[in-house]
Structure 1
């Protein structure tokens, strides 16, 4: 053992992790059936094969007149839905060559006995639940439906239905002889317990019992293993600081079935220790260090190497900035804190007015003016904490109101702003007229270029940089948009329908003079004229807005068709189209144009249609074309005309 300890304390971790344990394979257990030893402290009870059974009984009896607290590692295999059957921790007095197959999990029919069963297969006849479960049973009875079921069944893992997850789980059996309480925990969570005098009520007054593990498979299987626990683990004080310059106290919270006889620490910075409780360790600089721990138990078994990262953090460089503070205005504080090593865990803000926050980038609203001390404390996950404080002044926010008025198109509107807080000095007034135009000034006039409904808005800035709320002014600009109609022709003495166009409703119409009009007070009177006439139409809105337009009517003897003899479609705006003027004609039957070869190049039935000299989108050549027009006058008489027209290019 001296040679082993020299290796344990003197060789590198690489050599230690590869140390041959062949000399340590002498087992304290008597193995039966399929059970095999895998390492110094680990055993396979069943391989992943059907109809196997294995038990491992410790060679030394224990006394139930003494308390014990045993830690084991158990692995129930990797097959969830098809794995079976489970593992049992068993106390019994009958010997070391016992076991049971299949659903019996190595425990069935052993009596007297007490078993803690981790069952991974549902046998309905035994009252098994559908999840992997743990229970405490007695006298080899695996049924949950009898009085031999002392506790459970409950899920083997806390909050998880499956323990066949390829993972190792800590399985703790604790017996307190004073309280007669047996507790079973898995992965640190208490699962089942029973308060019972095991010696008197189960073993007939015999305190000395054999103990060990049983496992079995049936028509389904899993690889099922256990280890006498040998788990190195660190423990730290919850209040310990992991900051540069602070010594770190490393505690040992290792779990071992037997007593731990030796330890070897590697602190990740080139220093090691073999102490059970090493003195506080001071790292010379901040950073992340991999701490390692290996333990050896009183059976000579050496654990795997525990590796855990420990971060020694720097202290935060606390800083923040804040924009202009104005009363009743929310402002986001910009956190500019930096940290070299580690991560920030907690922000603590105190804004000096009774408000606090834990946000990284908080928002704050002050209701009163004054100077406030804003404090930020930053704390890292390593417990490193610093703080800073800045004084910030809160300025008053101005209040204003605004007025405007409705108007007719083309009329100026008077806009006025009113200062509701005259003690707050103002820098500028800003108007937005709701149409993309802005101006500045407390009072001003503005003419809207188009009619419609607008939302004008006003806000101000104080000399301290505080902005008021926006005051809105709804404005309606009335635009009648009067059009009396295109100048036109009329047949002498025949009806001419007038049709003025406007925007809006509730309008008053006045045609002047009233010569030949059926009703001069409407938008669409009929005119009967004997000579040329100029009409003036005046329209007044309900708001009092007035617009005037003029209509020229030229009177011809008719009805008739007036057709030009030539036109020049060259897009110069003069005589570009060919059309017929039809005073007195109420309906056009057709208006057609043919080429000299008799090909029809234009046809319409509209009194207002024109021909641009094109045929199917292609300009026709200069020359003479034949036309014919036919229509019906207002008296229902059919008449027509024909002639020629010349295209001039």
Structure 2
């Protein structure tokens, strides 16, 4: 239980405990209510169909103002938890009202109930969230005229208060203004102005007060305490530095009057005063402060334990890498503190320019030496300062070019210093993200056509890097192919089809004799004898490539077939093939052995027989062949003969 007095309290404060044992509590308990400690009561255990109430035996007068502080606990179950509790004022007695959604309040009349409802009852117009309302005369329906304030969330922005937490519940009645105010955890959540004596209690100002709670088909552990919560704080300007006295302020909450205090300041100092005098700790460090209070009913609080850090003074310091114009002038805090936590920084750059960042960028824009002051302060309020000179160096500017190159030629890379007064210590080029060359001017041979990324960079003697110059290095490869050597019949037109890569290319065939257009890649040739054609192509960038093809001219159309071949893989006359000038399509080319069996055949003019049958060498001897095809005029013709395979 949260309110059970701790063992530490018993050991440290036996003088308080002895008086508490004789304390008499002026409360009447009904139903499931039980006393858990001196000032704490369970209204309902976590059981179904349970209800309980706790009433103070002594009536109070509503002609007098009151300000009561309690702690309430609504359990841990949200969706499955119910039903809630209420603080109730009544004149008739100390009875228990309706259970379940009645919260132990329903049916008590005349009465005023400040209800904390944790179950959504649609028939009583409940909102979906846990809510707070002020009702009168035992009516809990929010649509009824007896609902005089609310409902609203118990905590702003929080739908659930069944959160396993204790919450401060403060109720203040201003008898002169007839105003009833309700706070939850320090937030004002409900307020109503109403003459409770005249309009609710029939001019009878004497009322009983107490708490009631109930469960039904769902349940939760529901408790309240007459608040006895120790708490201390400090002045807003208090600093916690070695050698500085610490002043404590009591900010405890109590339903009754606090009669006794016990302080343990963590360094061996123990006091029984309402407030310790300003206390000077012996050295920097962390100290556990303990506080216990007792109220006028003899109840003793739990022991409050909080750590107070007495900080040491920091050592301010900062550093930086090379500072160069044109780049962020990054300064890095390097301050240290032995005890405590650094929390504030103030930089003074001169000329009224300052910064509160931990790692700022200095505002200087020109080279020079500047005085910079850093003041650093810990979260405990301890401070130190340091002043240093920093130097800002000039940044060089460079230019660069990457010349166009033809395939096979090196790309010339050149760089220049546009700020001669700044000495360059190192030049380097990054080549296509793969290589780095440390040289001002260089050449690099790229392996194939394309556009490559190159970057020129330079570092000054002071370590300042020039702004990199990004370039594109273009390498041109025309990729010229004039065509394959071929054969034609004398007088047969031959379409030449050159292949090249690029635009606006210039073509030149030589010799031009017999060509329809010697400056076109698609020229037509009609040679009358064997001819070697040379083709030269020039790109707009000045790249030149040459290629050639041989055209053999035969009388034809005709099939030319050798009379013998020697397939011994010596590179001479190893293949048996047909040369077919003027023939555009081959119907077949077949070879038979002397027993009339086909040993090889093809329908391709470029095919040949290698002297093998089914992968094995054919026997030496004479073989018969027949070839048939169609010439460029559309005429089909054939030839036959014999060939000798020599081994």
| TM norm structure 2 | 0.83
CA distance in 2, matches of 1:351, 1:611: 91
Q: Residue in 2 aligned with 1:11? A: 11
Task: Tell me the residue number matched to 1:547.
Answer: 545
Structure 1 residues 104 and 494: alpha-carbon distance in aligned structure 2, compared to 1, 3 A threshold? closer
Deviation of 1:172 (Å): 0.9
Question: Could you tell me how far 1:433 is from its partner in structure 2?
Answer: 6.6
Relative to structure 1, the CA distance from residue 581 to residue 386 in structure 2 (aligned partners, 3 Å threshold; closer, same or farther) is farther
Residues 146-168 of structure 1, C-alpha deviation per residue, up to 9 Å, x if partnerless?
44333211112332122223322
Query: 1:521 is matched with which residue: 519, 522, 529?
Result: 519
Q: Does the C-alpha gap of structure 1 residues 223 and 540 become closer, same or farther in structure 2, counting only changes over 3 Å?
A: closer
Task: Give the equivalent residue in structure 1 for 2:381.
Answer: 383
1:29 aligned residue: 27
Tell me whether 1:39 sits opposite 2:28 in the alignment.
no
Counterpart CA distance in 1 for 2:346 and 2:379 is: 14
Offset at residue 214 of structure 1 (A): 1.9
* Paired residues for 1:490-501 under 5 Å: 490-501=488-499
Aligned 8 A contact 1:328 1:366 in 2: no
Q: Secondary structure of the equivalent of 1:38?
A: strand
Cα distance, 1:54 vs structure 2: 2.3
Counterpart of 2:135 in 1: which secondary structure? strand
C-alpha deviation, 1:327, in angstroms: 1.4
Q: Secondary structure at the match of 1:11?
A: helix
SS of residue in 1 equivalent to 2:72? strand
Distance apart, 1:184 and its partner CA: 0.8
Task: Show the counterpart of 1:90.
Answer: 88
Which residue of 564, 582, 586 maps to 2:579? Answer: 582
Q: What does residue 565 of structure 2 align with?
A: 565
**In 2: Cα distance, 1:277 partner to 1:42 partner:** 26
Most deviating of 168-177 and 631-640: 631-640
Q: In the TM superposition, what are the counterparts of 1:300-319 in structure 2 within 5 Å?
A: 300-319=298-317
Match of residue 102 from structure 1: 100
Deviations 1:308-341 (A, max 9, x none): 3333444444433212212121244344344444
Structure 1 residue 32, shift from structure 2 partner: 2.2
| Cα distance change, pair 580–463 in 1 and its aligned pair in 2 (3 A) | same
**What is the match of residue 4 of structure 1?**
none
- 1:622 CA displacement: 8.7
Q: For 1:49-64, list aligned pairs within 5 A.
A: 49-64=47-62
Q: 2:137 aligns to what? A: 139
Q: Which of 451, 461, 464 is the aligned partner of 2:462?
A: 464
CA distance in 2, matches of 1:364, 1:645: 95
Change (3 A) 1:22 1:577: farther
Structure 1 position 521, deviation (Å):
3.0
Pair 1:147–1:578, CA change in 2 (3 A): same
| Distance in structure 2 (CA, Å) of the matches to 1:315 and 1:614 | 99
Shift of 1:183: 1.4
Query: Of 317, 327, 331, which aligns to 2:325?
Result: 327
Shift of 1:363: 4.4
The C-alpha deviation readout for 1:512-564, integer Å capped at 9, x for no partner, is 22344344332243434443322222333345544333333444555335567
1:195 aligned partner = 193
8 Å Cα contact 2:245/2:280 also seen in 1: yes
Unaligned runs of 5+ in 2: 1-6
Asked if 2 retains the 8 angstrom alpha-carbon contact of 1:577 and 1:610, the reply is no
Conserved in 2, the CA contact under 8 Å of 1:244 and 1:286? Answer: yes
* Aligned equivalent of 1:401: 399
Structure 1 residue ranges without an equivalent (≥5): 1-6
Residue 590 of structure 2 contacts residue 627 of structure 2 at CA under 8 Å; is this kept in 1?
no
Instruction: Give, in angstroms, the shift of residue 227 of structure 1.
Output: 1.3
Residue by residue over 1:188-226, the C-alpha shift from the partner in whole angstroms, topping out at 9 and shown as x without a partner, is: 211111233444444444443221112233444333221
The answer on whether the counterparts of 1:332 and 1:361 sit within 8 Å (CA) in structure 2 is: yes
Q: Count residues with an aligned counterpart.
A: 635
Task: State the partner residue of 2:3.
Answer: none
* Aligned-partner Cα distance in 2 for 1:174–1:157: 18
Q: 1:596 to 1:85 in 2, by over 3 A?
A: farther
Q: Following the alignment from structure 2 to structure 1, what is the Cα–Cα distance between the partners of residues 243 and 403? A: 73
Distance 1:501 1:212 in 2: 103
Task: Establish whether residue 507 from structure 1 lines up as the match of residue 505 from structure 2.
Answer: yes
Shift of the alpha carbon at 1:385? 3.4
Partners of 1:595 and 1:248 lie apart in 2 by 120
Q: Is the 8 A contact 2:9 2:303 kept in 1?
A: no
1:637 is aligned to 636
Does the 8 Å CA contact 2:40/2:223 hold for their aligned counterparts?
yes
Which is worse superposed, 322-331 or 210-219?
210-219
Counterpart-to-counterpart distance in 1, 2:551 and 2:299: 121
Map of 1:3 onto structure 2: none
Query: Relative to structure 2, which stretch is displaced further, 531-540 or 555-564?
Result: 555-564
1:151 maps to what in 2?
149
Deviation by residue 1:400-458 (Cα, 9 ceiling, x = unmatched): 33456556556787766555444444445545676967667767777777554455544
TM-score, with length taken from structure 1: 0.83
Q: Call closer, same or farther: CA 1:471–1:599 in 2, change over 3 Å.
A: farther
Query: In the alignment, is the contact (CA less than 8 A) between 1:569 and 1:612 conserved in 2?
Result: no
C-alpha contact (below 8 Å) 2:342/2:378 kept by paired residues: yes
Q: Which residue of 1 aligns with 2:4?
A: none
1:231 aligned to which of 220, 229, 249: 229
- Whether the 8 Å contact between 2:31 and 2:96 is mirrored in structure 1 is no
For the residues of structure 1 that align with 2:23 and 2:596, how far apart are their CA atoms?
Answer: 119
Structure 1 residue 293, shift from structure 2 partner: 2.4
- Distance of aligned partners of 1:298 and 1:603 in 2 relative to their CA distance in 1, 3 Å threshold: farther
Paired residue for 1:266? 264
Cα 1:575/1:149, change in 2 over 3 Å? farther
Q: What secondary structure sits across from 2:37 in the alignment? A: coil
Query: Equivalent residue for 1:76?
Result: 74
In the TM superposition, what whole-angstrom CA distance separates every residue of 1:380-412 from its partner, at most 9, and x where no partner exists?
Answer: 333333343332111222233345655655678
Tell me the secondary structure at the aligned position of residue 103 of structure 1. helix
